[in-house]
Structure 1
Amino acid sequence: MLVAVLLLLLATAHVAAVAGEDSSSGGNHHGQCIEKEKEALLRFKGVVDPGNILSSWTNDRTNQNCCTWRGVTCDNQTNHVVEIDFSTVYDDNTDGHDYAIGGEIGSSLVELQYLNYLDFSGNNFSRIPMFIGSFENLVYLDLSRNPISGTIPPQLGNLTKLQFLDLSSSSDHDQMIADNSEWFSRLTSLRSFRLTNANFTKAGLQSFKVAPSLSGLEVSGCLLPK
């Protein structure tokens, strides 16, 4: 049975607060980035990039500092990469969305263990990789408005510091599958959660527990067990 549930409780205020907290360690950064993390970003550059959005990600002598690359923010004190933001400004119904980055999110990003903010919203990524659960410092994760399908990895439950999670899809034709719901119950710091067009028919909702910190919840267009 197709069930659409919409619960929205003070999400805007909390989302703004989370974003402000996550960006406080970054800003305009002029220190030299960590070599290991730069190499990881260069390997990630293998994603589909029809709009040449990652053109600043090079190892040229004049542009070797990854902290100055587009979409990358480093910590002002440690020089570690702490934010990646490639949210697009494209409307889903415009041709501009065709120039967003896409394909599969490259596993080289696992080297960025200090990452606390990851925003790939409005792009063309096709699935959520299991390794995303290894970012133990992640506070903000936005994969909304991507044509994501396939299984929601239970490894997401490892993100115990996560406060904002948006998995809402860009189309009614895209459907994620949840084999279980236990991972959600482990997100004990979560404040805001959005999910659309997910199939929970194989998941037992008995273990679906909401974190006490959750103030914004929006779930719609999902298939639930009978």
Structure 2
Amino acid sequence: MGGSKSKMVVMFVLLLIIFEGGWSEGCLNHERFALLQLKLFFIDPYNYLLDWVDDEGATDCCQWERVSCNNTMGRVVVLDLSQTHRGEYWYLNASLFTPFQQLESLDLRDNDIAGCVENEGLERLSRLSNLKMLNLVGNLFNNSILSSLARLSSLTSLDLSANRLKGSIDIKELDSLRDLEKLNIGRNMIDKFVVSKGPKRLSRLNNLKVFDLSGNLFNNSILSSLARLSSLRSLLLYDNRLEGSIDVKEFDSLSNLEELDMSYNEIDNFEVPQACSGLRKLSYLHLLRVGIRDGSKLLQSMGSFPSLNTLDLSYNNFTETVTTTTQ
């Protein structure tokens, strides 16, 4: 008798969850409705959202293209809206994403977004406490976007490459993103970081592992600005305005660095002091098409990096035959 009562209680609780949550063949009704509302703002020239329709045969939004749900409650956790609005710039209403309370990944790349509707900016995404990945590649955002991202403290990956960031970037805009592990601001027109007086602000990004600064206008002064990022494993500085001699001592504090790419700069000397103690974990060093002429000297200095297994010196014009000496 007691067993039957227990089963009835369990069934009642399950029914209550279903009706209260608005369960609809795999996804919640209110999230399905929110997706349909969202679709109205995207032109979708390539018909990626073709199955986002309101009819009896497509009630489970978890089965729709570009949507992924968790397995337990059918909540939307991944939204891929990349390349769904092309042709002319427009302004996004970020509040359209707030119904997706379990959202973990949002991809908005290549959509010609120039900014956000007034009072409906990306700071609205701070309501999504599970949001880990935000991809904004290939839009038209300018420097003002940084302040609107400051409240998204749950992010671990942020991609702002190929936008319209330019000039100086104030590092304090990044202060609150302390869980960030991957940051890409490549292919913009940034020429320097502004570091506030006192402890360098970048040191607060103590979980940052991958930092892509490629395709900007940074000169040699950027190296000192990066000195406090001791958690970095990959640093991409290719295609900037680095020039002349680069002293490896600039990287001494980056004790966890495994990959360094400084290709496509005007570097004529990669100076490695004999007593070099930094970069002990460096495995990949890319120096393609730089201005280094003395290849033999460079190769002989590579012994200072005991973990190095890939060295790319393609498209350089060494003045003599490159030789190495085995000790």
TM-score range, shorter chain: 0.5 to 0.7
Greater mean alpha carbon deviation, residues 143-152 or residues 56-65: 143-152
- Structure 2 residue matching 1:127: 3-state secondary structure: strand
1:85 aligns with 2:73: no
1:112 aligns with 2:100: yes
**Aligned-partner residue type, residue 165 of structure 1:** L
* Partners of 2:178 and 2:108 in 1: CA distance: 23
- Structure 2 residue matching 1:212: 3-state secondary structure: coil
TM-score, scaled relative to structure 2: 0.48
**Aligned-partner residue type, residue 132 of structure 1:** L
The CA deviation at 1:42 is 1.1
Aligned length: 183
Gaps of 5+ in 1: 1-29, 89-96
* Partners of 2:107 and 2:89 in 1: CA distance: 13
* Partners of 2:211 and 2:151 in 1: CA distance: 20
User: What pairs up with 1:60-79 in 2 under 5 angstroms?
Assistant: 60-79=55-74
* Partners of 2:89 and 2:66 in 1: CA distance: 15
Could you say which residue in structure 2 is the equivalent of 1:214?
208
**Aligned-partner residue type, residue 81 of structure 1:** V
Could you say which residue in structure 2 is the equivalent of 1:151?
144
**Structure number with larger C-alpha Rg:** 2
The CA deviation at 1:79 is 0.9
The CA deviation at 1:151 is 1.6
Name the CA shift for 1:83/1:158 in 2 (closer, same or farther; >3 Å): same
1:43 corresponds to which of 22, 34, 37:
37
Greater mean alpha carbon deviation, residues 150-159 or residues 112-121: 150-159
CA-to-aligned-CA distance 1:96-143 (integer Å, 9 cap, x gap):
x98589733342211111101111223332226332333221111111
Asked whether the 8 Å contact 2:165–2:190 carries over to 1, the reply is: yes
* Partners of 2:78 and 2:112 in 1: CA distance: 20
- Structure 1 residue matching 2:56: 3-state secondary structure: coil
CA RMSD of aligned residues (A): 3.2
Name the CA shift for 1:198/1:39 in 2 (closer, same or farther; >3 Å): farther
Give structure 1 regions of 4+ aligned residues with deviation exceeding 4 angstroms: 97-102, 176-180, 198-201
- Structure 1 residue matching 2:49: 3-state secondary structure: coil
**Aligned-partner residue type, residue 175 of structure 2:** S
1:192 aligns with 2:182: yes
* Partners of 2:65 and 2:175 in 1: CA distance: 35
User: What pairs up with 1:166-177 in 2 under 5 angstroms?
Assistant: 166-169=159-162, 174-175=164-165
Asked whether the 8 Å contact 1:181–1:204 carries over to 2, the reply is: yes
Asked whether the 8 Å contact 1:149–1:177 carries over to 2, the reply is: no
The CA deviation at 1:40 is 1.2
Gaps of 5+ in 2: 1-23, 220-327
* Partners of 1:177 and 1:51 in 2: CA distance: 35
* Partners of 1:177 and 1:57 in 2: CA distance: 41
The CA deviation at 1:204 is 5.3
**Aligned-partner residue type, residue 202 of structure 2:** K
TM-score, scaled relative to structure 1: 0.67
